Structure 1
Amino acid sequence: MSDTELSETELPETVRSGAEPSATTRRQVLARTGALGASIAFTGALSELFAGTATAATQGRTGYGPLVPDPDGLLDLPKGFRYQVLSREGEPLRSGEGKVPSNHDGMAAFRGRRGGVHLVRNHENRATAKLGVPTVKGLTYDPAAKGGCTALALDRHGRVVDERVAIAGTAVNCAGGPTPWGTWLTCEETEDKAGTSGYTKDHGFIFEVDPVDPRRTGAVPLTAMGRFQHEAVAVDPWRGVVYETEDAFQKPFGLFYRFLPNKPEGGRGSLRAGGRLQAMRVPGVPDLSAIQETGATFDGIEWADVPDPLAAQTPIRHQDFGPKGITHAQKLEGCYWGGRCVYFVSSFAHSAEGSAADHFGQVWRYDPARRRLTLVIVFGPDTDIQLPGESPDNICLAPSGGLMVCEDGGGTQHVYGVTRGGKVYAMARNAQNLGTPEEPEWGEFAGVAFSPDHDTMYVNCYTPGTTFAVTGPWRR
């Protein structure tokens, strides 16, 4: 095992030649702001997140107005916006392979032919799921597992023209991430081995899925990328490095990883060539939850080789990383690449569960050129933790230049927008009551993504599994 940090000169020539020049980091802390009575506190260096993503025209705006109750009881949106239900669990797949599986989770949108769009959608199914992903020959890893992905093809009018299995026989497919070469990396959020829960193969891997023709990628685990409770990934398009989050449920909590591929130039199937898995060490910080102030910056970030990426005997987060140890964090979830940095989410931290401190959600930024880690956003209700706003999960950039954030907390569930100026607003509210009028309950949102032309927002309701397409005055 060795502790290393690859400098630019140590990276392969194919990576170094495309490296993006770095820019001066600005540090600022925005004042706390409310969001339509949701009592959200949101602070952070928003200008750094959104630099270069859009004009600043929306900085002074606070969203698109109040949410209007949906008479059909599915999805509340601002005036001027409308939704289309693309797919619901239990309906027949257009391919005839079976029914639409349940537990809609991470998702990405890819450009199709003639203005069309391809969606790849995760299904976070465990062995007990009632509506698992149908097994299909050539696309099934473990017939005993019920997770996987489905792929939807939309025409230029947004109509579903095909829906089929993209990969089956995987387990607890939570999130993942798109690659620069147009495929989806789906992540298993489990460490179950063969013989557990009836599985016939080990689980806890990443799989690559081709959204256009899934048979070109098949059902091959990318074992060199590690076996652990994966959540999400983001690919550095300049260096080919893949960053990975681990959503471990018990202490010791998860790690933040990077994978150095043997073929950093990328391309479909390139990750099967293997590489080197490392975990992030922040010197002097064993638990990221201990850091509470936005703008807190740490230089000299180290990366330690993972002793046993396959976790044959010991889960990676329990493995011996030497006398310096390693840095953990509770609920590491969303992960995306923006500009020259990778951003990752810690949804919450509870000291009662073993974290160093409590928080209601953080977004961290790692700058690989400077080996610098910065806490850029902190979420959290001002007064009542039962109010919506805590526990950010999936995140994506919005056409306005801000963020769209899926909420995964208690109470009413929203998709929240964050403007370039740091204002938080409600963009959508789940109106599907799973409980009773006296004790209502709503499922979380997941998989928020925008079409390549930025005219449509796609988002999943986890339960009951529903995929929505939302259109409206996004460029207003």
Structure 2
Amino acid sequence: MSSAPRRLATRRQVLAGSGAAVAAISFSGAFGELFAGTATARGHAGYGPLVPDPDGLLDLPKGFRYRVLSREGDPLRSGEGLVPGNHDGMAAFSGRRGRTHLVRNHENRHTGRIGVPTAEGLTYDPMGKGGCTTLELGPGGEVLGERVAIAGTAVNCAGGPTPWNTWLTCEETEDRAGTNGYTKDHGFVFEVDGADPRRTGAVPLTAMGRFQHEAVAVDPRKGIVYETEDAFDHPFGLFYRFLPRKPLGGTGSLRAGGALQAMRVPGVPDLSAVRETGTAFDRVEWVPVPDPQASGTPIRLQDFGPKGITHAQKLEGCYWGGSSVYFVSSFARSTEGSAADHFGQVWRYEPERRRLTLVVVFGPDTDIGLPGESPDNICLAAGGGLMVCEDGGGAQHVFGVTRRGEVYPMARGRQNTGTEEAPEWGEFAGVTFSPDGRTMYVNCYTPGTTFAVTGPWR
């Protein structure tokens, strides 16, 4: 999420310069694998072209409408301060009496945009500006409340929901106490109860490792937590699993500790070297992490034995679907140390078979106006298919992907943070659906804005 510098030409620039453009998207991969356990897609290829928003905020297809739920700099309804900036990962949870609790990350560093206000009993490190806020929505979608859910954390990027309806928020940093003014070590996962944040407080789940966390996904059958690492420099991040001592124990159970392991694909030190969709590895190994707290050496640099460990650049989105966990590598660049270049991969790991499969490759043989560059947040759409937040250059979109691999635009950001001559748009993040599937929630990273989108969802 808005963390890695963009030093190379984007996919759009490369394709535009070569004159390459085709009329339809051509993602490679077995898209049917991505939708196990979801509603059956109906074969539609979207909702039509995007209609320019006269208010200059969000373009949507005809028949859809949005409501701005929250904007950075406005007063929090709790009176605790201002709505923080850098809106990022997010999830929606069912509440009592038809209400919805929307938990939202704020990827604030030690400097920059409006930080999360400190709150008694909810602050980990008073010098940290990151954290989460939560919105309580009524049955009609109206905002009933907005408050701090956790404060004093740092660079809260993504995370993931648990089967017991809490949110795991992830710090994408390895800064220690004494660095950038922090008074405590950072790089942890924290559990947040959107309905009652004081139930979870501000307690780091240290056994889950200290590294540059991105996202997590929980196996709802066994309680195993899968974690991605978005490391910025070579050697790149790892894919982890955490075996809790008290799996599926409910709120607070992850504090009981457990074992952290990293994935090893024998003979594959770098996932970017795999190019063909459908390529599968049936002997995936899980290796104990020598020092989960990274007390002396970052985990990805630790000694995993003579066989080494498997790395991948820009590991970001992670989610559970059917009987598998899926994770995203947003891109790989050989000039930055990866074994090969790609514009985005989606991998599927089947725990029961110990099988890892490359199921989707993004770009570059796509229309320059369609996605295929740097997939980031991905969620399963309530009616079948995917919603993808593209984190690339130029205009910023939320795209839908059908089971057949057809891509359609769902939203386009219109808030220009640059100039008329050199426009810039904040990326989308945190796309998620209401428990009843009737509303899509999504954030604009900057200027921090949370939207609720309703309409004729199929």
* TM-score, with structure 1 as normaliser: 0.90
Matched, 1:382 2:365: yes
Measured in 1, the distance between the counterparts of 2:364 and 2:67 equals: 31
1:49 maps onto 2:34 in alignment: yes
Kindly report structure 1 stretches of 4+ aligned residues shifted beyond 4 Å.
36-40, 383-388
Give the Cα separation in 1 of the matches to 2:272 and 2:23.
Answer: 24
Query: Secondary structure of the residue that 1:380 maps to in structure 2?
Result: coil
CA–CA distance in structure 1, aligned partners of residues 148 and 36 of structure 2? 37
Indicate which of 181, 186, 189 corresponds to 2:169: 186
Query: How far does residue 47 in structure 1 lie from its aligned partner after superposition?
Result: 1.1
Question: Among 115, 134, 141, which residue is 1:132 paired with?
Answer: 115
2:140 pairs with 1:157: yes
Residues 189-221 of structure 1, C-alpha deviation per residue, up to 9 Å, x if partnerless?
000000000000000000000010000000000
- 8 Å CA contact 2:86–2:113 kept in 1: the answer is no
One-letter code aligned to 2:301: H
* Paired amino acid for 1:335: C
Deviations 1:410-459 (A, max 9, x none): 11110010001110111100111111121111110000000000000000
How far is 1:68 from its partner? 0.6
- 1:199 is matched with which residue? 182
Correspondence for 1:430: 413
Letter in 2 for 1:99: L
Query: Contact (CA 8 Å) 2:163, 2:248: kept in 1 or not?
Result: no
Instruction: Assess if the C-alpha contact under 8 Å between 1:38 and 1:388 holds in 2.
Output: no
Give the 3-state SS of the residue equivalent to 1:381 in structure 2: coil
Alignment of 1:218-257 (within 5 A): 218-257=201-240
Which of 347, 362, 371 lines up with 2:345 in the alignment?
362
Contact 2:270–2:310 at 8 Å: present in 1 too? yes
Contact 1:40 1:379 in 2 (8 A): no
Whether the aligned pair in 2 keeps the contact of 1:38 and 1:387 (CA below 8 Å) is no
CA offset digits 1:77-120 (Å, max 9, x no partner): 00010000000000000000000000000000000112111000
Distance in 1 of aligned mates of 2:303 and 2:273:
22
String of CA shifts for 1:166-193, please: whole Å, max 9, x gaps.
Answer: 0000000000000000100000000000
Could you say which residue in structure 1 is the equivalent of 2:442?
459
Question: Distance in 2 between the 1:432 and 1:233 partners?
Answer: 30
Letter of the aligned partner of 1:113 in structure 2? Answer: R
Aligned partner of residue 412 in structure 1, secondary structure: coil
- Does residue 1:352 correspond to 2:330, yes or no? no
Contact 2:272 / 2:312 at 8 angstroms: preserved in 1?
yes
Instruction: Give identity over the alignment, percent.
Output: 81
* 2:402 corresponds to: 419
Question: Does 269-278 or 108-117 show the bigger shift?
Answer: 108-117
The AA in structure 1 aligned to 2:447 is: P
3-state SS, counterpart of residue 48 of structure 1: helix
- Tell me, in whole angstroms, the C-alpha distance in 2 between the residues paired with 1:94 and 1:273: 34
Query: What is the one-letter code of the residue matched to 1:276?
Result: A
Distance 1:71 1:201 in 2: 46
Output aligned runs, 1:83-162, within 5 Å: 83-162=66-145
Q: CA deviation at 1:50?
A: 1.3
C-alpha deviation, 1:388, in angstroms: 5.0
Report the Cα distance in structure 2 between the residues aligned to 1:200 and 1:137, rounded to whole angstroms: 17
Q: Within 5 Å, which residues of 2 pair with 1:319-338?
A: 319-338=302-321
CA contact (8 A) 1:386 1:411 kept: no
SS, match of residue 114 in structure 2: coil
> Residues of 1 paired with 2:236 and 2:266: CA distance?
17
Residue 131 of structure 1: how far off its partner (Å) = 0.6
Displacement of 1:463 in angstroms is 0.3
Q: Can you list the C-alpha shifts for 1:125-176, whole angstroms capped at 9, x where unaligned?
A: 0000231000001000000010000000000000000000000000000000
SS in 1 for 2:272: helix
8 Å contact kept, 1:396–1:448 = yes
Call closer, same or farther: CA 1:38–1:353 in 2, change over 3 Å: farther
Distance between the aligned counterparts of 2:396 and 2:169, measured in 1? 24
Deviation of residue 266 (structure 1)?
2.5
Matched letter for residue 241 of structure 1: I
Distance 2:230 2:326 in 1: 15
1:260 maps to 2:239: no
CA distance in 2 between partners of 1:423 and 1:373 (Å): 24
Looking at structure 2, the residues matched to 280 and 467 of structure 1 have their Cα atoms a distance apart, in angstroms, of 35
Alignment partners' CA distance in 2, 1:202 and 1:469: 35
Q: Tell me, in whole angstroms, the C-alpha distance in 2 between the residues paired with 1:90 and 1:145.
A: 18
Deviation at 1:39, TM superposition (A): 6.8
1:163-182 → structure 2 map (5 Å cutoff): 163-182=146-165
Q: Give the conservation status (yes or no) of the 8 Å contact 1:40–1:381.
A: no
Q: How far, CA to CA, are the matches of 2:211 and 2:302 in structure 1?
A: 12
Deviation at 1:48, TM superposition (A): 1.4
5+ residue gaps, structure 1: 1-35
Any idea what SS the aligned residue of 1:271 has?
helix
Q: Is the 8 A contact 2:344 2:372 kept in 1?
A: no
**Paired position in structure 2 for 1:316:** 299
**AA of the residue aligned to 1:79:** K
Kindly state the Cα deviation for residue 382 of structure 1 after the two structures are TM-superposed: 2.5
- The question of 1:394 aligning with 2:377 is answered yes
Tell me whether 374-383 or 266-275 shows the greater mean CA deviation: 374-383
